[in-house]
Amino acid sequence: MDYQIFALGDVVLQRGATLRNARLAYQTYGRLNAEKNNVIVYPTWYSGQHVDNEWLIGEGMALDPSKYFIIVPNMLGNGLSSSPSNTPAPYDRARFPQVTLYDNVRLQHRLLTELWGIERIKLVVGWSMGAQQTNQWGCLYPEMVERIAPFCGSAKTAPHNIVFLEGVKAALTSDAAWHGGWYDKPPTTGLRAVGRVYAGWGLSQPFYMQELWRSLGYSSLEDFLVAYWEGFFLPKDANNLLAMLWSWQHGDISDNPVFQGNFKQALAAIKARALVMPGEMDLYFPAADNAWEVAQMPNAVCRPIPGVWGHFAGGGANPVDTQFIDDQLKELLAYE
Amino acid sequence: MDYQIFALGDVVLQRGATLRNARLAYQTYGRLNAEKNNVIVYPTWYSGQHVDNEWLIGEGMALDPSKYFIIVPNMLGNGLSSSPSNTPAPYDRARFPQVTLYDNVRLQHRLLTELWGIERIKLVVGWSMGAQQTNQWGCLYPEMVERIAPFCGSAKTAPHNIVFLEGVKAALTSDAAWHGGWYDKPPTTGLRAVGRVYAGWGLSQPFYMQELWRSLGYSSLEDFLVAYWEGFFLPKDANNLLAMLWSWQHGDISDNPVFQGNFKQALAAIKARALVMPGEMDLYFPAADNAWEVAQMPNAVCRPIPGVWGHFAGGGANPVDTQFIDDQLKELLAYE
């Protein structure tokens, strides 16, 4: 087992369900120093797990485990933390409860404070839904979080993003084998359809025009659709995907008892030095939305990741983008 | 019957099938003058029929039936011209043959020349797949076509556009009720899923952020998804949608015996005065692609339709965009 489990006990979720014997799976990189002032939190993204974050961690990089104690908490629903696929009846599978951004971050906060007694965080950083959790950290725990670096994400899921996800959901649930979530065998037709719907959104128009999938080792456009996109979603659990999709569609850092829906107030509460990095051509987390958010935050800069990799600019697949992100993170970590 | 049928006889299609007793449905507006020099051709778009083009036709508008003889040919596969839904066995339903852009335009050319003896066309104009047919007209019949005005389309379907359509196709065909095209009852789950997938592509991110669906009379985002998007695709025949989708994915004005895949040569062959109008924020026919095409055409200008209506800038739903298009067309028609 290449990760640890933090037993959360019985957790009352924001929307009312009690998740009994809830678990938060996490992995750490590096060592917590005696002063407990070298902590970085790096939440996961839609369907990603801690290992999928490791491309941004390494000696000599900004997220250097020889300097920092890097904690990667797995998002609820991702198959390692409490999820439809691993929760016993009666909250199993299609009955897994609705989990919010607020739930995820509160539970991560418990991990840090209860397990290690951490009081200060040097940096919270994350991609996509990980960026959303990063923003949630920033406004919920402003005295604790010194810096945030959300990339290719937002502080509130935009209506168009919700619509894009409706298409993903419809493609999956059109497969009768999904059976309302009570499948015994995976709804493979629907999972493949998710891959095909997602393919157009994940990368930009010029990415495809320039056939940059070749740089990833695919031999044709159709090969990229099958070998990468269908291959990516086929092994995922459909109910897990739908649970995380619900969390994403309802992602809003102000939708909680603290901010009660006041989005501007939540953004203004992010006191941390914030480095916000949209993908210049991201189709579902548009750079323009981040520019607006940054204008509401007291100590933030917006630095778009240039180029044509769209949302995947933040996915670790393109070395140039990874270099850009790493350089920016180094600058942010040097900022006092 | 608010349209006419031109009996094409037995048509040998580009990909080899013979479509027996093929039919081209069309409607005309205005009268052909004695000199036969007042002809406008205005092909239909993906799943649209001639009535869906009428918003751009009217007295006092550029497409003025009191001045021009406006011919709207229905694209093959759209349910009125030869289509999976109206072709008798054995080429019915799932067995309907592959129809290319070249097929469509050659058959439209037959309509004009055989039925009316038309030798000159003042303008070919069209939206989306109608724009693709417009470009095909321009390069196949350069001595005949004086002006073209393709809007929110392209001369060759871009790889990203092909991928977007893969998502649409996957959503539809994931419904087991589709049954490989041999359904007796419509695959309604799949058709609704098509609507949801399409919804994110048809309009832009800021369109949804600004809730501009309100201007169309919808009461909530979900109401827009159900009442407009699902409602739009539910009555369509699934095989018709898939047949037109195939034509679209293979849309390339140079993929024919005349140009043999030489795309630049096909663009250079468009001698007509060309007014190319992309939607500034069109997500699947990006304005940048049109700018490149225009640079290859000898007598063309690119005039993006400003604003946030994305592909639907050319759909007739937004009066400001319609005004822009109409103004531009008036200028083009005045051009000698």
Residue B129 sits in the same domain as residue B167 = no
Phi and psi torsions of B296, nearest 5° = -95, -5
What share of chain A has pLDDT > 70, as a percent?
100
Residue B260 sits in the same domain as residue B315 = yes
Rounded alpha-carbon distances, angstroms, from residue B320 to B282, B307, B308: 16, 9, 11
What is the edge-to-edge ordering of all strands in the sheet holding B273-276?
Answer: B4-12, B18-29, B69-73, B39-41, B123-127, B147-151, B273-276, B300-302
Q: Which residues of B73-100 are buried (b: 16+ CB within 10 A; e: fewer)?
A: bbbbbbbbbbbbbebeeebbbeebbebb
User: How far is residue B72's CA from residue A292's CA, in Å, rounded to a whole number?
Assistant: 44
Mean pLDDT, residues A162-182 taken together: 98
Question: Which residues of B make CB contacts under 8 Å with A?
Answer: 158-164, 166-167, 169-177, 189-190, 192-193, 196-201, 203-209, 211, 221, 225, 283-284, 286, 288-289
Q: How many H-runs (helices) and E-runs (strands) does chain B carry?
A: 12, 8
Catalytic residue selected from B128, B154, B204, B247: B128
Cβ–Cβ gap B197/A171 under 8 Å: yes
Q: Could you read off the pLDDT of B294-315 as tens digits, one per residue?
A: 999 999 999 999 999 999 999 9
Residue A120 sits in the same domain as residue A212 = no
Rounded alpha-carbon distances, angstroms, from residue A10 to A89, A103, A114, B166: 15, 13, 15, 43
Task: Assess whether the previous peptide bond of A257 is cis (omega < 30° from 0).
Answer: no
Q: Check whether A18 has a pLDDT greater than 70.
A: yes
Mean pLDDT, residues B93-114 taken together: 98
Q: pLDDT class for A335, splitting at 50, 70, 90?
A: confident
Mean pLDDT, residues A143-151 taken together: 98
Would you say the pTM of this structure is higher than 0.95?
A: yes
Domain that holds residue A235: 161-244
Q: Could you read off the pLDDT of B223-246 as tens digits, one per residue?
A: 999 999 999 999 999 999 999 999
Cβ–Cβ gap A211/B159 under 8 Å: yes
Instruction: Determine the pLDDT at residue B336.
Output: 80
Among B244, B269, B299, give the residue marking a domain's end.
B244
Instruction: Determine the pLDDT at residue A336.
Output: 80
Q: Check whether A316 has a pLDDT greater than 90.
A: yes
Residue A120 sits in the same domain as residue A268 = yes
Residue B44 sits in the same domain as residue B145 = yes
Residue A120 sits in the same domain as residue A147 = yes
Among A244, A279, A305, give the residue marking a domain's end.
A244
Mean pLDDT, residues A104-124 taken together: 98
Mean pLDDT, residues B89-118 taken together: 98
Cβ–Cβ gap B175/A175 under 8 Å: yes
Question: Which residues of A make CB contacts under 8 Å with B?
Answer: 158-164, 166-167, 169-177, 189-190, 192-193, 196-201, 203-209, 211, 221, 225, 283-284, 286, 288-289
CB A132 within 8 A of CB A249: no
Selection from B243, B188, B236 nearest residue B179 by Cα:
B188
Instruction: Determine the pLDDT at residue B1.
Output: 61
CATH of the domain at B68: 3.40.50.1820
Catalytic residue selected from B175, B237, B282, B321: B282
Residue A278 sits in the same domain as residue A209 = no
Number of domains in chain A: 2
Q: Check whether A206 has a pLDDT greater than 70.
A: yes
The one-character DSSP state at B176 is G
Residue B144 sits in the same domain as residue B210 = no
Three-class SS state of B8? strand
Phi and psi torsions of A214, nearest 5° = -60, -35
> Is B179 an annotated catalytic residue?
no
User: How far is residue B183's CA from residue A136's CA, in Å, rounded to a whole number?
Assistant: 48
Residue A185 sits in the same domain as residue A271 = no
Mean pLDDT, residues A145-168 taken together: 98
First-residue to last-residue Cα distance in chain B: 37
For residue B286, the chain A residues in CB contact (below 8 A) are 205
Among B244, B268, B284, give the residue marking a domain's end.
B244
Instruction: Determine the pLDDT at residue A1.
Output: 61
The one-character DSSP state at B63 is B
Mean pLDDT, residues B15-41 taken together: 98
Instruction: Determine the pLDDT at residue B114.
Output: 98
Residue B168 sits in the same domain as residue B139 = no
Residue A274 sits in the same domain as residue A235 = no
Rounded alpha-carbon distances, angstroms, from residue B40 to B32, B63, B120, B260: 10, 8, 10, 28
Residue A220 sits in the same domain as residue A258 = no
Q: Could you read off the pLDDT of A54-83 as tens digits, one per residue?
A: 999 999 999 999 999 999 999 999 999 999
Q: Check whether B16 has a pLDDT greater than 80.
A: yes
Instruction: Determine the pLDDT at residue A43.
Output: 98
